[in-house]
Structure 1
Amino acid sequence: MAREPLLRCIFTGTCLEPDGAIAAAALADKFGAGEVVSIDIDPDRSPRSHNHQFAFVHQAWLNLPESHHGQPYAASSGHLRKYALIKCGYHHADMIALGDPRRAERVAVTLARQSERDEVYRIITVEGAVIYSFTAETQKMKAMGKTRFQQSKQDILEFLADMIGVKPDELAKMGRRGTA
């Protein structure tokens, strides 16, 4: 099923008005005067900001200190982004209590192999007989709104800058050069 295109509207302080003649015509074709319409309220998230994040993550990955080489998160810039999201608290956590520490270790190894096979980046830890599995929240535009995305972007910028030994502003500039 095809999804209707998004129509840009402007909030005037009392109502939403279509932004331009094309949006107004599209709304007039779709709805009658006085018709009640439900809307999804989420301010636009800039593709430029989205792309900038991927660029500075890539720059951080290219500049990882040698001491990080060989770590699972150093395999790709995508893995590094997900690692940073998890470490900054933007994750889903699952806990599996198994009752026996040796069994927990064996199951954790199986989970890690399964994650690798399915190309899912996750951090798996074992504490006694309990396995903790962390996966990063998705940052797809439809899944993470503008405000949460901006906060996660800032948090991982600071985390990665610290990781590679630069100031967040420097890493942000490196990312802007990468998207230019």
Structure 2
Amino acid sequence: MIGERYILVEHEARSAASHAHYFACVRDGWSNLPEDLAGRFPTPDHLRKWALIRAGYRDEVTFVASSKAEAIRIAAFLRPVEDTAVVRVKDSVVVRWTAKSQSMRAMGRDGFQRSKDAVLSVIDELIGTAPGTLSREAGRAA
């Protein structure tokens, strides 16, 4: 509007190099999964989304059912809707977590960097490597 004042916030785009490095790290982590976990994550993207959820970068929807049996039925219905979602049942409550989007539109540079660090930490722990190992090793290859 004419005569109105607006506060502008500088938006710094994240680098293509950081983006590529992140996905190389996730791919390396996925390829180094222990045999007993390999079937749980059919693709690197399944692993990435699970790690996002585990690190707290998730959206949550809660359904309250009239009984535990109904909650189990709701959970069974929800699980196939999005194969990367985590669905939990406790008593008559169903909780569904989905990974937050890491798209450039959804996350700026700082948010992406925080989520990247958190995800790689979760994957390092999952595959039994010291914190920061994936980031250092993929950094040499990327």
TM-score (normalised: structure 2) = 0.89
- In structure 2, the residue matched to 1:58 is 27
Q: What's the offset of the Cα at 1:39?
A: 4.4
Give the match for residue 7 of structure 1: none
Aligned residue number for residue 169 of structure 1: 132
Give ranges in structure 2 of 5+ residues lacking alignment: none
Counterpart among 111, 114, 127 of residue 78 in structure 2: 111
1:50-84 deviation line (CA, Å, top 9, x unaligned): 1111110010000001121322xx11100100000
User: Quick check: which has more Rg, 1 or 2?
Assistant: 1
Match of 2:63 in 1: 96
| TM-score, normalising length: structure 1 | 0.71
Identity %: 33
Distance 2:6 2:60 in 1: 37
* Pair 1:42–1:130, CA change in 2 (3 A): same
Identify the residue that residue 47 of structure 1 maps to in structure 2: 16
Counterpart CA distance in 2 for 1:37 and 1:109 is 48
Instruction: Give the 5 Å matches for 1:20-169.
Output: 39-71=8-40, 74-116=41-83, 121-169=84-132
The 8 Å contact of residues 123 and 134 in structure 1, kept in 2 or not, is answered as yes
Amino acid at match of 1:84: A
DSSP-derived class of the 1:168 partner: coil
Unaligned 5+ runs, structure 1: 1-35
Q: 1:106 to 1:37 in 2, by over 3 A?
A: closer
CA RMSD of aligned residues (A): 1.7
Give the length in aligned residue pairs: 138
